[in-house]
Structures are given as structure tokens and as C-alpha cells.
Amino acid sequence: MLHLFCAAVTLSIGAAIVLAAPVPGGTWPTSQGRVSFAAVYVVESGQVFDGGMKTYDRSDITCLEQTESNVSTAVFEVKPGATLKNAIIGKNQMEGVHCEMSDCTIENVWWEDVCEDALSIKGGNASSVSRVIGGGARYADDKVIQHNGVVVDGFFAQDFGKLYRSCGNCKSNPAQRFLVMSNIYADLNVIQTKRSGKNTSIVMMNGNFGDHAVLPGVRVLL
């Protein structure tokens, strides 16, 4: 069963954003090498980390599937105002990429085998906006993107449980969350995950908190 929940997004997030990424074609990039970190790599505010399309993972961590963890088991922590681009996140990690204080940019980043979450966006305030431009993720038993205010454009998701999940009750996040998700290619076929059939959610939000989303250009492959 496919769950798709959407509503009108407020102008505070949508008016100043130009979305230009094309709908993905359903192919995956070729890795240009491998780099393993012994601890989470921090991309500081104002910095741009260009991964050169290499695969990045952790030398000290293996995936424990849906075991809850924190930023210490991620590959990258991206600070507010920082950008992570042109990188493939490998299998040996738990939490993928974290934006602990929101307002980050994730551009052309690919998760080859999602563990607990691919991308977690936390903190920030009611006007915070993080951007996910291009890239993709696959083999997520549960969540791909969990957050606050986020823009996702030109993203490919394959074999996943939830593409986007607003944080259910994160004390550090504003209660109301906003989402713009455009030019998305979502392949619901079960390839590797342990999901039962096609019980999949494109977007899960909290109506009781007044969450809002707009989803132009979402292509779903059943």
C-alpha cells in the first residue's frame, strides 16, 4: 500500500525557492574510490565538502539495521550554512548524514545502502530550510529523510519504507514543519529490504502539529 499525504505549503518556505533539478532517470553513479573515516567527519559552517563521487563510510562501524543511534555513528555531520556534495555514502555506518542544526545543503549525495536513516535534519527554528538537491538512496527498511523545513529536488529513492518523515516528537525542533518535494522518482519495488510487500510512504507528516507539504512532480514506479 502506498501512503501519500500532502497539503498546501505556506509562502514562507516556498516563495523564495527556485526548483530546477530534473526528475532522475533511475540509474546509480559509479564510485571513484573509497574513503573510510574513524570518526564522524564534520563539515563546518561556510565550508563546501566536494567528495569527488567517492564512496565514504566508517572504518569502525557496521550497520545494525534499525538500531537507534546518534550523530556519532554518522559518516558526515554538516553544520548550518555548510554544503556536502558529490559523495556516495557506503554501507558501513549507522546514521548516514546528519544536519544537527538544520540549514544545510546536501547536493548530489547518494546512499548506496541505507542503514537506520540516510539523512537526519534536526534543530533550527521555524524559518530554517535545508536543501537536498539531486542524489538518491536505496535499500531503506524504514526512513530515508527525517527531519523541520526541507526542500528536496531531483531525488531518486529505490526500495524504501518512508521517503520523508517529519520528526514525530523531537523536542529540539519547531512543532510545525514544512516540506517542498519536487521532481522525485520513487521506485517501490522490493529488491533488498525486509519490507513486506509495497507498504510504503512517500511522505509522513504530523497533521496535529500543522505540518504542510507540496509535492510537484513525483513519479512513482509500482
- The model carries a pTM of 0.86
Any long-range contacts for 36-42 (C-beta under 8 Å, 24+ apart)?
36/92, 37/75, 39/72, 40/71, 40/72, 40/73, 40/74, 40/75, 40/76, 40/77, 40/98, 41/75, 41/76, 41/77, 42/76, 42/77, 42/79
Residue-level pLDDT, tens digit, the chain, 222 residues: 444 433 333 323 343 344 567 889 899 999 999 999 999 999 999 999 999 999 999 999 999 877 778 999 999 999 999 999 999 999 999 999 999 888 999 999 999 999 988 999 887 777 788 999 999 999 998 889 987 678 999 999 999 999 998 876 666 555 678 899 999 999 998 888 887 655 789 998 888 778 889 999 899 988
Strand partners, 204: 165
Domains and CATH numbers, the chain: 2-15+50-221 (2.160.20.10)
The pLDDT score that the predictor gives to residue 10 is 32
